[in-house]
Amino acid sequence: MQIIELNDENISEYTQYVGEDMAENLERTFYRGFLVMSDAGDDMLSGIIWEYHNYDEDTDTESFIEWIKINDPEAADTLFDEYTKRIKAEAVVKSHFVIPVKDRKVEKEALKKAGFTARLTEGDNIIVELSELSALPIMKSRAVPPNISVISDLTLRKFRKGIYQCVTKGKKGLCQDLSFLQMSWFDADVSCYAKGEEDTITGFFLFHKLPSGMMSIQLMIGLDKNAQQNLLGMIRKFIISMEENYPPETKILLNRHTQASLQLTEKLLPRGFGIPVYAGVREE
């Protein structure tokens, strides 16, 4: 067996194993990953990709396993031995994982053997089509306040200033590397912002278009007393902008990772359910 480090220079050679949406993450600041390949290098036996959380902060660093695949159970020990060695070198105190239930029995058992808890639960992700959002009750009125616009209307300097506000308040959404991401990483024609007094940015509703074509939410935040009103306006502006740029069958990935996002999705999509997943944790 041989270990192949995954990074932005070689990930294109291994996209077939990890998928295009996950492969894109290997170009980001806090993502790491490797594959366990056969001695000949022509067969993937197992692989793992994770993201460090709190890596550049004064709090404990944790690891979130975003993808894991085990084709050969005999390669599982090699996989976890290598993974454990790497995270201990970064002083990680806890590892988490969430994997879909479908076709993941081997991975679940390997994770349990490696010391992880494992429970069946409803995942945070909800996938909806644009047509479903267009039919929401809040879209009966398509009025958007004048202080709400798409980020393509922003200068790069103002965008970076708004992102800096979010980061300093500890509000990074799904982006641990928010301060490192380029403005162009977000879909500027549908991602929205709210403008406050003195031309300051008081809210973001940011999306990234995945290589697969799915639109994925990245950051939802209000920064002043008008947060709820601004969020409603940004949601409407986002849906209208999506309608202007994408077909009705476009899929949109919403993530209920915080109490605020959970409450929002329950209000907008009361019949929306996340896919069944196995989730677990291991103290390091």
CA nearest 174: which of 252, 255, 115? 255
CA pair distance 168, 192, nearest whole angstrom:
20
Region at 221 (left for phi over 0; alpha for psi -120 to 50; beta for the rest): beta
- Comparing C-alpha atoms, which of 213, 216, 192, 194 is closest to residue 203? 194
Q: Is the pLDDT of residue 33 over 70?
A: yes
For residue 143, the model assigns a pLDDT of 92
pLDDT tens digits for 145-154? 999 999 999 9
Domain boundaries, given as residue ranges, for the chain: 2-124+278-283, 127-255
Handedness of CA 89, 42, 213, 152 (dihedral sign): positive
Class of domain 2-124+278-283: alpha beta
Q: In what order do the strands lie in the sheet with 92-100?
A: 2-5, 31-37, 44-53, 61-70, 92-100, 276-283, 119-122
Q: What is the pLDDT of residue 257?
A: 67
Residues linked to residue 193 through DSSP beta bridges, in sequence order: 149, 204
Contact criterion met (CB below 8 Å) for 236 and 155: no
Split at pLDDT 50, 70, 90, the class of 271 is: low
Mean pLDDT of the chain: 92
Domain range 127-255, CATH architecture: 3-Layer(aba) Sandwich (3.40)
213-265 pLDDT, tens digit each: 999 999 999 888 888 899 999 999 999 999 999 999 999 999 876 666 667 77
Task: Evaluate if residue 111 carries a pLDDT over 80.
Answer: yes
